[in-house]
Amino acid sequence: METLWFSLVAFMIAMYVVLDGFDIGAGIIHNFVATNDAERRKVLASIGPVWDGNEVWLLAGGGTLYFAFPKLYASSFAGFYLPLIIVLWLLILRALAIEFRSHIRSDLWRPFWDVVFGGASFLLAVFFGAALGNVVRGVSLDARGDFFLPLWTDFRVGAEVGILDWYTILVGVLAAATLTLHGSLWVALKTDGELQQRAHRWARLAWPVTALLTVLVTIATFTIQPQVPGNFSRYPWGAIFPVLALAGLAGMRLWLRLETERKAFLASCLFIIGMHTSAAFGLYPYVLPATTGPEFGLTIYNTATTEYGLRVGLAWWIPGMLLVAAYFVFTYRRFAGKVRLDQVGHY
């Protein structure tokens, strides 16, 4: 049952990264691919009806994580206190930029929010990547399962780790590159003309960077976290997850060249899902390893709620997710196709 919920929470987080990932990626390239106000409104309109729903995956995923693994939520949220609050502030600024930018027609107001949107999106990508890096590397947990990390120490991966070190920064940069690529493909899918061409160019630039960083991060991960190679050698069938990621990466390259945006974007989704499931598979059954010794690590077993709680949860989670799937299919079909500014409701 714990393993099932581990998979379900991992699924929700992967959904969050795939969906809000393209919003964040669109934000990163927003100021570079869109050169005038009409183009920028197009970029925003491409995520306008969906970004809020995409961000709900973070809240619903976080809520589900809390309900299934309360100890993990309590320990990690308090331990990552400052970076999490900074993420909150970035999320606030980014949401304000998206929603309030187009309310006022002014040469000062709009560029200001454009920069906020781009900057907050970029920093969020780096922070989320670094957060994943921290979870993979592990933190200095004590016997009670608590920790509190400084933002950085000496940037080395040792016993006295900080939130930022060379490894977590590397993962952060990979996340930024991946989401830049993902967002570029989304913008290319939703727009046409010069804007689309520029988004294509960004995607073509971001691909080799992402591929190179993927190789580096994979090597680094296998070196610093012994749990990962251990799991892959114990359960060889788990190789399916990295194979999915590789297939996504290769697919992107192929379809980018052919300029079939839809397939390229789907390949990017596959890549992100493959990377996340690989990380989750590599850590299992750990959800937060300890740098202080494997016996202190938080696992799905020492953080999960009761069997009864998990069973009840399944009874409402499954129908709930079917409803969510229905909403998303409906919304994305309704707003399918290229963005046209004259069709955007009353905004």
Q: How far lies 242's CA from each of 77, 131, 238, 245, 280, in Å?
A: 29, 20, 8, 5, 11
What is the DSSP code string of 226-295?
A: THHHHHHHH-GGGGHHHHHHHHHHHHHHHHHHHT-HHHHHHHHHHHHHHHHHHHHHHHTTEEE-BTT-GG
- Cβ proximity to another protein, 118 vs 313, nearer residue: 313
* C-beta closer to another protein: residue 260 or 305: 305
Token code pair at residue 97: 């930029």
Contact 123, 93 (CB under 8 A): no
> Least Å distance between CB 89 and another protein?
6
Could you tell me which of 21, 1, 2 has the C-alpha nearest to residue 275? 21
CB of 276 to another protein, least distance (A): 19
Instruction: Give least dist CB 308 to another protein, A.
Output: 6
Dist CA 70 CA 305 (whole Å): 7
**Whole-number minimum distance, CB 296 to another protein, in Å?**
15
Do the Cβ atoms of 3 and 158 come closer than 8 Å?
no
| Residue 257 vs 340, nearer CB to another protein | 340
The residues facing 152 across adjacent strands are 164
Q: Give the residues lining the site for another protein (CB under 8 A).
A: 48-50, 52-53, 55-56, 59-64, 66-68, 70-71, 73-82, 84-85, 88-89, 91-92, 95-96, 99-100, 103-104, 146-148, 305-306, 308-309, 312-313, 316-317, 320-321, 323-324, 327-328, 330-331, 334-335, 343-347
- Cβ atoms < 10 Å from Cβ of 254: 12
DSSP string, 177-195: HHHHHHHHHHHHHH--HHH
The vertex-282 CA angle with 279 and 286, nearest 5°, equals 100
Q: Give the residue with the Cβ less far from another protein, 41 or 200.
A: 41
Nearest distance from residue 294's CB to another protein, in Å? Answer: 21
Cα(103)–Cα(15) distance, rounded to whole angstroms?
30
**C-alpha distance across the termini of the chain, in Å:** 46
Q: Which is nearer to another protein, 222 or 335 (CB)?
A: 335
In the structure encoding, which two tokens stand for residue 80, read together? 């990552």
CB 222 to another protein: min, Å? 30
CB-wise, 60 or 205, nearer to another protein?
Answer: 60
Q: How many CB atoms lie within 10 A of CB 36?
A: 10
| CB 320, min distance to another protein, A | 4
For residue 170, the minimal CB distance to another protein (Å) is 26
Nearer CB in complex with another protein: 89/152: 89
Residue placing its CB nearer to another protein in the complex, 113 or 284: 113
* Nearest distance in Å: CB 118, another protein: 18
Nearer to another protein, 100 or 155 (CB): 100
Is there a cis peptide before residue 49, judged by omega within 30 degrees of 0?
A: no
- With 0-12 / 13-18 / 19 or more C-beta atoms within 10 angstroms meaning exposed / middle / buried, residue 159 is exposed
